[in-house]
Amino acid sequence: MEWIVDEQVLNEYIDMTAFGGDVEHRGMNAFFKQIAMLGYLFRDKHKITLTNGEVRAEYDDDYDQYLDMRASGTEDRTWEMMNPSNDVKEGMRDGK
């Protein structure tokens, strides 16, 4: 997979989501900064490993199969919907 991102636009998004920016949002700002860093390290190969609670891609066969189904578009449900017992904290789904 390859992403081509305009650095000027990315920098604008970083500025917009920064503290005091027009659309201040710490989470999105951190995300945009990480994307920028991946771009700065253009000579490296990148790999994104997803985790979900206690499960991690490449270490849990069920989660691997779930991710394969998400990638193929055959699964719309989230991991939590498919495996309610895998919540990080008991009762989180009920708002407790």
Indicate whether this model's pTM tops 0.85.
Answer: no
Q: How many CB atoms lie within 10 A of CB 7?
A: 10
Q: How many residues does the chain have?
A: 96
Domain parsing of the chain, residue ranges? 7-40, 51-94
d(CA 45, CA 28): 23
Q: Which residues pair with 55 in a beta bridge?
A: 52
**Residue 19 in this model has a pLDDT that exceeds 90:** yes
In tens, the pLDDT along 21-39 reads 999 999 999 999 999 999 9
- The encoded tokens of residue 28 equal 């999105």
Label residue 90 by pLDDT band (50, 70, 90): very low
